[in-house]
Structure 1
Amino acid sequence: MNATSPTGHPLTPARTQPAHTPPTVANSARPTVTELRLSAFRTHRGATFPLGPLTLFAGASGSGKSSALQAYEALARLGAGEELESVFPDPSACVPESAEVDGQGRRGFRIGCTVDGPAGPVQLDLAVQAEPELRVVGERLTSDGRILLATALRDPGRSTVQAAWHTAGAVAVTRAPLPDDRLGTALLPLRVAGKTQGQLQVLAAAEQVVVALRSVFACDPQPHRMREPVAVGEGRLRRGCDNLAEVLHRTRTECAIRHARLAAAARVGCAGTVQELAVEELGDGTVRALLGRGGARVATPLGRLGEGELRYLALALVLLTGPGVLAMDQAAEVPAAYQALTVLADGFDRCMDPRQARQLVALGAEMAARGHVRLVGTVADASYARGADGVTVVDLVT
């Protein structure tokens, strides 16, 4: 079966399960993605990657490091309810070059993940048709060897897939059409009543996957956009970190302890003797960040720092803050105590020297050990991270 073939897998018989109750922090882990599967995606075929609290993909250019993070981010955006077209603007580029066209002229790709949490390990697998038109052609949600949700493309002329999920009541299975441009798992909480044991199990599994996927912040600091003063707004750090000074203004005002930790990180990763990380309010209503260095009469604007220093400071800020300071779409209906922030950082060590990269990994490992954040990044060279406590290195080869 190629990547675009419908997945008409039968649902396994429902088993008796205890009634689902909201998890408590004391006896349940927060939902986290612990495995990424790229069955057929770009350069990857049949690839399975374990993800720890801090995971670094290492390898030469073209080995598929960035592709792995792109697949993870795509799942996260689909889990947040985005449409396929916005998540995959160039779907044909996601199809492995060796993928052949089937009898209907179709090609596609397959990605998936495993999410651990209160409901136990839950597997999500998605088959997407990229050609001749973009659409979901198959999705499976599996827990404890049982397929809880299965969708398949039955009628190519309709913009829907046929879905079936467990009911375990008077009717063992519920069948209904779902849109072929959305992740069915993300729609289940709106479609499943939650009145029977089977429905409660489906809801628990779906909600666990959605919470884990929506707790993702993809970060790619852009130094050339971080050098100018910025207007003060809501103080939530954007993906490119171009509003770094605005967020520093907020953390300096609202959280002295967090700001002090960031200043300590700056002393290690920035040149010279850094004494202070300050923010200056300018006459036009904008703010700019400054480094106070020992012996210097005038503080240095962050705009004069090198690219490695700016990326280092931005990523340190991300690791030291929480979802409330990051521009991300969390599951607002779920208490923060039930969510674990995961940062995706492609080119985690880009432009940095080994000292900066080593310090940043140490900071990430510390925050991960405390349960504050999980990190999945790509690096050109992971020699400084091998053997470090709490760090998983995934080596990719071309």
Structure 2
Amino acid sequence: MTVLTPGLTRPGAPTVRPALTELRLTARTFHLGTTLEPGPLTLLTGPSGSGRTSILRAYEALARLAAGATLEEALPDPAAWTPERSAPDPEGRRGFRIGCTTTGPTGPIHLDLAVQTHPELRIVGERLTTDDGTELFTSALRDPTRSTVQAAWHTAGLAPVTRAPLPGDRLGTALLPLRVAGKTAGQRQVLAGAEQVVVALRSVFACDPRPERMRAPTATGTPHDTGRLLPHCGNLASVLRRTRTECSRRHARLVAAVRAGCTGPVVDLRTEDLPDGRTHAVLDRGDGHHTPLPRLGDGELRYLALALVLLTGPGVLDVDPVTEIPSAYQCLTVLADDLDRSMDARQVRELARLAAEMCERGHVRLLGSVRDTAPVREGVTGEALTVVDLDR
């Protein structure tokens, strides 16, 4: 359950889509900490071990927590999150801190989380604050023998705060809409801040196209076929079958993108039904010749999948956005580690150009990592691109 706030849904108001504008992390293995300020299109670069993957996983973990996942679900390998240089406290406990800032209708809202990874995984502290320092919500571990934390949220009524225990394995901010009544101005402020953070974090699609899975035909019309693209893009053919019929304009844009990034002529991107009931995709070369996707190279397949992701949205991608908020008030963030893996310079350049175009429209943001920034800079110029070199 998510409570709608006037700032997001007021008729006639300017559309201000909540977005993450700062990520704070002290869990980069060897590194003690980093702060990242992603823009609409941000690419991380740096040598192996510089923390590119760790940053993207941290963002994804926050997204999963905001969607209601437990710490164990969001952090399947807790030990990997503890910086090597961090020392245990006097009680032998170790952990890390992670936080973010979101902007939106309520202004900057800061979320800071302290997580204990040893001797057991649990949240030991959480703070949700406004830019002027007002504490909307806090939680703290008072009794290590209990599975709960003591939480308090801003009320501004007869009592300044309301206190209650909350589970120690879930993000308290995501639980506030179920606990806060919204009767006072202070409570409504808490709900607005919490909703902004949840909306900004939940609309995330961590995409890692796997060519070996994309080459296999996909089954359509089965109970397991949701028609939404999975992160590994193994069901690409069934999704293309859907998108081709739903929006001819978007499909034409995808065909143009594929033409720019694939070898040889491309006049269309089609799907064909096989005798066994499965579906595969083909490139229509325009002379009666069709090239099945399994014959494409790894770079071409990854390029095609990522182009489709950038041109679609939550209705097509396998994400869990806040359904109570209209999609026009949300912004999808695509996370793409090793964005340029297996691609040649031309493909990276064209994909970066497409990403910049889509990010400029405001409905999608991209945070990824690349090994070589030269092709990216050829495709995108000016302030549309933010490159963060983690080796500096």
Corresponding position: 1:118 with 2:112: no
Is the Cα contact below 8 Å between 1:23 and 1:118 reproduced in 2?
no
Q: Name the structure 2 match of 1:26.
A: 13
Q: 4+ residue runs of structure 1 moved beyond 3 angstroms?
A: 18-26, 386-389
Q: Deviations over 1:328-349 (max 9, x none)?
A: 1111111111111111111111
Corresponding position: 1:395 with 2:383: no
**Identity of matched residues, %:** 64
Is the Cα contact below 8 Å between 2:42 and 2:368 reproduced in 1?
yes
TM-score (norm 1): 0.92
Q: Name the structure 1 match of 2:74.
A: 87
Q: Name the structure 2 match of 1:69.
A: 56
Question: Is the alpha carbon distance of 1:123 and 1:23 closer, same or farther for their aligned partners in structure 2, counting shifts above 3 Å?
Answer: farther
Equivalent positions of 1:314-333 (< 5 A) are 314-333=305-324
Structure 1: tracts of 5 or more residues without a match? 1-17
Q: Deviations over 1:292-319 (max 9, x none)?
A: 2255x53111011110000000000000
TM-score (norm 2): 0.94
CA separation in 2, counterparts of 1:305 and 1:336? 34
Q: Name the structure 1 match of 2:290.
A: 299
Is the Cα contact below 8 Å between 1:365 and 1:389 reproduced in 2?
no
Q: Name the structure 2 match of 1:226.
A: 214
Q: Name the structure 2 match of 1:273.
A: 265
Residue 283 of structure 1 aligns to a residue whose secondary structure is: coil
Question: Is the alpha carbon distance of 1:149 and 1:108 closer, same or farther for their aligned partners in structure 2, counting shifts above 3 Å?
Answer: same
Q: Deviations over 1:65-121 (max 9, x none)?
A: 010000000000000000000111110111000111111111001111111000100
Corresponding position: 1:191 with 2:179: yes
Is the Cα contact below 8 Å between 2:20 and 2:102 reproduced in 1?
yes
Residue 23 of structure 2 aligns to a residue whose secondary structure is: strand
Is the Cα contact below 8 Å between 1:19 and 1:200 reproduced in 2?
no
Q: Alignment partner for residue 170 of structure 1, among 144, 158, 179?
A: 158
* AA partner of residue 339 (structure 1): Q
Residue 385 of structure 1 aligns to a residue whose secondary structure is: helix
Q: Name the structure 2 match of 1:204.
A: 192
Q: 1:274: how far off?
A: 1.6
Is the Cα contact below 8 Å between 2:330 and 2:363 reproduced in 1?
no
Residue 119 of structure 1 aligns to a residue whose secondary structure is: coil
Q: 1:389: how far off?
A: 4.3
* AA partner of residue 168 (structure 2): D
* AA partner of residue 161 (structure 2): V
Residue 61 of structure 1 aligns to a residue whose secondary structure is: coil
Is the Cα contact below 8 Å between 1:41 and 1:110 reproduced in 2?
no
CA separation in 2, counterparts of 1:21 and 1:316? 29
Q: 1:235: how far off?
A: 1.3
Q: Name the structure 2 match of 1:13.
A: none
Residue 375 of structure 2 aligns to a residue whose secondary structure is: coil
* AA partner of residue 360 (structure 1): L
Is the Cα contact below 8 Å between 2:123 and 2:169 reproduced in 1?
yes
Question: Is the alpha carbon distance of 1:25 and 1:128 closer, same or farther for their aligned partners in structure 2, counting shifts above 3 Å?
Answer: farther
Question: Is the alpha carbon distance of 1:343 and 1:300 closer, same or farther for their aligned partners in structure 2, counting shifts above 3 Å?
Answer: same
Q: Deviations over 1:341-377 (max 9, x none)?
A: 1111111111101110111011011001111211100
Please say which of residues 42-51 and 339-348 is displaced more in the overlay: 42-51
Q: 1:134: how far off?
A: 0.2
Question: Is the alpha carbon distance of 1:24 and 1:354 closer, same or farther for their aligned partners in structure 2, counting shifts above 3 Å?
Answer: farther
Residue 333 of structure 1 aligns to a residue whose secondary structure is: coil
Structure 2: tracts of 5 or more residues without a match? none
CA separation in 2, counterparts of 1:20 and 1:171? 26
Residue 376 of structure 2 aligns to a residue whose secondary structure is: coil
Q: 1:388: how far off?
A: 4.4
CA separation in 2, counterparts of 1:25 and 1:112? 33
Is the Cα contact below 8 Å between 2:267 and 2:285 reproduced in 1?
yes
CA separation in 1, counterparts of 2:375 and 2:24? 27
Q: Deviations over 1:215-243 (max 9, x none)?
A: 11111100000001101133100010000
* AA partner of residue 44 (structure 2): F
Q: 1:165: how far off?
A: 0.9
Residue 183 of structure 2 aligns to a residue whose secondary structure is: coil
Across the aligned residues of Structure 1 and Structure 2, the Cα RMSD in angstroms comes to 1.6
Q: Name the structure 2 match of 1:96.
A: 83
Question: Is the alpha carbon distance of 1:291 and 1:272 closer, same or farther for their aligned partners in structure 2, counting shifts above 3 Å?
Answer: same
Q: Name the structure 1 match of 2:352.
A: 361
CA separation in 2, counterparts of 1:382 and 1:21? 36
Residue 384 of structure 1 aligns to a residue whose secondary structure is: helix
Residue 208 of structure 2 aligns to a residue whose secondary structure is: coil
Question: Is the alpha carbon distance of 1:22 and 1:273 closer, same or farther for their aligned partners in structure 2, counting shifts above 3 Å?
Answer: closer
* AA partner of residue 364 (structure 1): A
Q: Deviations over 1:105-160 (max 9, x none)?
A: 11001111111000100011111000110000011101022121111110000001
Residue 251 of structure 2 aligns to a residue whose secondary structure is: helix
Q: 1:25: how far off?
A: 6.7
Q: Name the structure 2 match of 1:251.
A: 243
CA separation in 1, counterparts of 2:105 and 2:273? 46
Q: 1:28: how far off?
A: 4.4
Equivalent positions of 1:279-294 (< 5 A) are 279-294=271-286
Is the Cα contact below 8 Å between 1:110 and 1:127 reproduced in 2?
yes
> How many aligned residue pairs are there?
380
Q: Name the structure 1 match of 2:299.
A: 308
